[in-house]
Each structure stands twice: as C-alpha cells, then as structure tokens.
Amino acid sequence: MPEAIFKYFPSLSSLQKDKISMLQSLYLRWNSKINVISRKDMDNFFIHHVLHSLSIAKIISFKSRTRILDVGSGGGFPGIPLAIMFPESEFTLLDSVKKKTGVISAIAEELNLDNVTTVRKRAEDEESKYDFITGRTVTQFNKFVKLTTKNILTNGNNTLKNGILYLKGGEIDEELAAFRDKIIVWNIKEFFNEPFFETKKIIYLPI
C-alpha cells in the first residue's frame, strides 16, 4: 500500500501522493502486456520498487534543474519514483530494450511527468552529460562506473558532489574494494524498517 511510502515522506504534496498511489495499477496493467517487473513481486510493489527507489531521497534532495541519468532503468526504477519526488529536476531514463522504454514512456505520460525523457540505447552509446547517474542492480559496480563516468558533469550545486548513486544489495564488499577510499555507503535499513532492506545499500561515488 502507498501508505508505506507516505509514512517515510510525510511532506509529499497531495499531487505527489496521487501519482504514487497510481503507480501500482499502472504497472499491473502494463505488466499484463509486457513483463517489466516479476509478477510474483507485484504484491510487494510499493516496498520492493517504489520505496527502494526513494531511498535515494533520504540522502539527497535534488535541486531544481539537476540532471539525472537513470541507466538500465528497466521498468522505470529508480527513475519514475524519483521524478515524482523531484518535479523540478530533469530525469533521463535509459534502457536498451525497446519494450521497456515503451512502458516507461507510457507511464510517464499517464502520470504527466514532464520532467522525464526516455532514451533507448546502450549506456556506452550515451554521450550527454548529467549531474548524477542512478542505477539499481544493473551490473557489478565497477562495470557500472566504467560505463557511466564519461557522462558526469564535474560542476554541480547540490549538497552532494556530482557522481553515481547506485542501489544494490547482498555481499558486495569485493566489487567495492577498488573504490573503498572514494565511496560512501548507506545501509537502507537505517532509513526504513521493512525486512526487505536488511542488506540493501546506496553506494555513492563522487566524481
């Protein structure tokens, strides 16, 4: 239920709450046509997908006109929930699979998210520059860094320096070893009480 979101983000506007509340029905409809989310996961949609995406909003509040590239966006996570949370920021949701970008575009249009642009291409082919790159369990962190650092602007005006914000869970110490002196890691269980977040992390690499 969307109440799981609202208790952690009590300052959401009524419009933001309405859009978040619409998400599950939209994804249920689209998922019946094109499988972009595991169907067995839909019962936990708001926790596993929406709240997980919004954990990034617990460490940064993107300023107006901040440009964010969501790489390997899949069904639109974390990009769509973050675009609802930060309507003054600009989100580009990138995926190489046509059916996925089609679903993302349709959902963004139905939600009137005019701050969302959808791009179908491989990450290595994207040339534009952004303040932040987001991703959720797209690949190993070192591979994600190699794919995306070329797209990060060096000058920014947010509370965090421009860089990568990556969501991943499980045992990841080995893949983070090369970045140990550069990254900051937040345990999402510090923000949310649900057991799902016990091993989930936000990895931040400033560039």
**Is the Cβ–Cβ distance between 163 and 177 less than 8 Å?**
no
H helix or E strand, kind and range, residue 24: helix 14-31
Q: Provide CB contacts within 8 A for 19, sequence distance 6+.
A: 84, 111, 113
Mean pLDDT, residues 81-101: 96
Average pLDDT over residues 180-200: 95
Q: Residue 66 and residue 75: Cα distance in Å, rounded?
A: 22
pLDDT of residue 33: 81
Q: In the chain, how many domains are there?
A: 1
Give me the domain span that covers residue 129.
3-206
Q: What pLDDT does 108 receive?
A: 96
For the chain, percent of residues with pLDDT exceeding 70: 100
Residue 171's pLDDT band (cuts 50, 70, 90): confident
Angle CA(19)–CA(99)–CA(91) in degrees, nearest 5?
45
Task: Assign residue 179 the CATH number of its domain.
Answer: 3.40.50.150
d(CA 79, CA 50): 10
- Calculate the dihedral angle through the C-alpha atoms of 91, 204, 120, 45, rounding to the nearest 10 degrees: -80
* CB 74, CB 36: distance < 8 Å: yes
CB atoms within 10 A of CB 10: 6
Stretch 104-129: mean pLDDT, rounded? 95
Strand segments (E) across the chain: 67-71, 90-95, 116-120, 132-136, 163-169, 184-187, 200-206
